Each structure stands twice: as structure tokens, then as C-alpha cells.
Amino acid sequence: MSALTVVDTPIRRGFFGVSLGLIGTLAYREVAPYQRSTTNVLNIVVQHQIWLTFVYASLLLNRDGTGYTGVLAGIRVETAGAIMMIANLR
């Protein structure tokens, strides 16, 4: 995740995070580094949560020069927080 600091704009940073999260998910699925299969499944679920968080951030952060115009840019802060909390509870 520290590689995200080299990306210049928030929208590119979001999509770069999505890409890293998806690559991480695929790598953990193929390698399965833990002995217990339940731990490997939990690890994959966490990786899905990470990349879904970056997808959500990318939808919020689309900027056209005058302001944020992403798909979810018009929603209230409380609504955005509630959506993220519910998405990460699964």
C-alpha cells in the first residue's frame, strides 16, 4: 500500500489500489500460505474488502477540475460511512 504514494492524482491512486488489491487477492488464492484452509479463506475475504474499499473510493473521487463528480460524489458523508461499514461487515 505504500506504493500508492507515488501516484499523482486521487482517482489514479484509487484505481491503482484496486489493481493492487485484485493482484493480492489472486496471489493469496493461488499461494494459500497458511496451513489451515479457514485462515486462507479469511485472508481472501480481507483482500476482497481491501479492493472493494478502493473501488468505492474511486467512485467517490472522480474529479473533473471543478469538483468531485464521481458516481457517489453527491451523497452525504454519513451515508458514505454507513455504506462502507456495511460493506466491511460481511
Residue 46 exposure: Cα atoms within 13 Å on the Cβ side: 7
Question: What's the burial of 87, exposed, middle or buried (CB within 10 Å: 0-12/13-18/19+)?
Answer: middle
Question: Residue 31: its pLDDT value, please?
Answer: 92
Whole-number Å distance between alpha carbons of 63 and 71: 10
Whole-number Å distance between alpha carbons of 50 and 25: 9
pLDDT tens digits for range 22-73: 898 899 899 999 999 999 999 888 888 888 888 877 777 666 666 666 666 6
Assign 17 a pLDDT band (cuts: 50, 70, 90). Answer: confident
Question: Residue 30: its pLDDT value, please?
Answer: 93
57 Cβ contact list (under 8 Å, min separation 6): 10, 14, 17
